[in-house]
Amino acid sequence: MPTGLRCADRSFASHACVGGYLCAQKPRKTAGADVYAGQTIDQIIAGRYGQETLLPSLEISVEDPGSGSSNCGEGYSCVYTNTIAWAAPDTPLPMELNPQVVFERMFGSGSTAEQRGLRRERNQSILDSVNDKIKGVRNTVGAPDRARLDAFTDNVREIERRLQIAASATTAAPENFAVPPGIPQSFDQHIKVMFDLLTLGFQADITRVGTMLFARDLTGRVYPESQSPTLGFHGGSHHGEDPNLINELSKINQYHVKMLAYFVDKLANTNDGNGSLLDHSLLMYGSNMGNPNQHAHYDVPHILIGGNKGRLEGGRHLTFPTKQVPTGNLLLSILDQFDIHRDSFGDSTGRLPGLV
């Protein structure tokens, strides 16, 4: 468990710092469409290990983006608080809220395995037809339009690649796993079914990389299943250093960690070769804020869980000098864990001792 890290920029007191959570870069200040942060480590890892799977990565959330307002405070776009995954510095990835949609992306749509198989076959023929038409008109348009067509064709090829993998895959949804009917009203049920789906994705090698957004920075959600069932999360985070409010907020944080423990337990009890999924995985759990009352992005704790095929030593608490060590050092060290070696990442100044 590394503690004492700082997110993005020590002077950056804003909720939008979550946009730099997995890329260690300060997001561009804009409420418009010209958002800019950085490619996140989940997408870098997916680029290396996800190209042979149906879904190179899976981005999921249990937090509704809300009204769709373009400004989420201090002049920053809500995009920065609605996702933690970026395919490129200017390409935020949407996070899927509906478990039924996640299930259909993994196993196909339809209430039975036969219906899902037929739907995939139909989609395959449609995409082939579109691709043939694109090839037929490419030489009749100018360079700008060819560039647009090429970008579209690349997207079609990516879909075709996934469908070809799906068509040859022998993995089907387990008979005892019911198709989710939609978004559960209970947070407790919602997050657990999302973790169940992510576990299935890892188990069936449908995906090898996943990100989960527990809560948006500005959420007013309450958690009835926690020991503080009426406290709104964002409001409670501005506790004014009141010990009673801090204690109530800690109960919500403890509840969130219990949900993480649910996922860890699922992975630990799922066989995977000569061990469990947890033995062969690396999970990172954390936040972009250390003291939310002051929007302070230092003294931020992170938890690393899993054996990563023997590469990660657990049972340790690593502490670092306050405000001096950026989260980029942690992310750079995590990339090393996956044999992706770079000189730097985001605002990194080096690697974390003990993780390399």
Whose structure tokens read 């895959």? 169
pLDDT, residue 321, reads 80
Q: Are residues 223 and 295 in the same domain?
A: yes
Domain boundary at 123, 157, 178, which?
178
pTM of the model: 0.81
Q: Is 217 a residue whose pLDDT tops 90? A: no
| 344 belongs to a structural domain | no
Domain boundary at 141, 162, 178, which?
178
Which residue, 355, 347, 278, is CA-closest to 7? 347
Q: Is 26 a residue whose pLDDT tops 90? A: no
Domain boundary at 178, 198, 226, which?
178
| 197 belongs to a structural domain | yes
| 45 belongs to a structural domain | yes
pLDDT, residue 207, reads 95
Beta strand residue intervals within the chain, DSSP E? 2-3, 58-61, 86-88, 91-92, 210-213, 271-272, 275-276, 283-286, 302-305, 318-319
| Percent of the chain topping pLDDT 70 | 77
| 49 belongs to a structural domain | yes
Instruction: Identify which has the larger pLDDT, 264 or 128.
Output: 264
Over range 87-115, report the average pLDDT: 83
Under the banding of pLDDT at 50, 70 and 90, the label for residue 226 is very high
Q: Are residues 254 and 142 in the same domain?
A: no
What SS3 class is residue 96? strand
| 256 belongs to a structural domain | yes
pLDDT, residue 140, reads 81
Q: Are residues 160 and 246 in the same domain?
A: no
Q: Are residues 128 and 6 in the same domain?
A: no
Instruction: Identify which has the larger pLDDT, 9 or 310.
Output: 310
Q: Are residues 118 and 11 in the same domain?
A: no
Residues 6+ apart with CB under 8 A from 314: 304, 305, 307
pLDDT, residue 97, reads 92
pLDDT, residue 164, reads 63
| Percent of the chain topping pLDDT 90 | 41
Over range 146-156, report the average pLDDT: 70
d(C-alpha 252, C-alpha 222), whole Å:
9
pLDDT tens track for 302-333: 999 999 999 999 899 988 887 778 889 999 99
Q: Are residues 81 and 120 in the same domain?
A: no
| 165 belongs to a structural domain | yes
Q: Are residues 123 and 248 in the same domain?
A: no
Q: Is 67 a residue whose pLDDT tops 50? A: no
Q: Work out the mean pLDDT of the chain and round it to a whole number.
A: 82
Q: Is 119 a residue whose pLDDT tops 90? A: no
pLDDT, residue 270, reads 93
pLDDT, residue 118, reads 57
Domain count, the chain: 2
Over range 26-39, report the average pLDDT: 91
| 241 belongs to a structural domain | yes
Residues 6+ apart with CB under 8 A from 57: 42, 43, 46, 50, 85, 207, 209, 210, 211
Under the banding of pLDDT at 50, 70 and 90, the label for residue 171 is low
Q: Are residues 138 and 99 in the same domain?
A: no
Q: Are residues 96 and 118 in the same domain?
A: no
Q: Are residues 97 and 121 in the same domain?
A: no
Task: Sort strands 210-213 and 58-61 into parallel, antiparallel or unpaired.
Answer: parallel
* Domain hosting residue 326, numbered range: 2-107+179-337
Q: Are residues 161 and 250 in the same domain?
A: no
| 343 belongs to a structural domain | no
Q: Are residues 195 and 129 in the same domain?
A: no
Over range 180-194, report the average pLDDT: 88
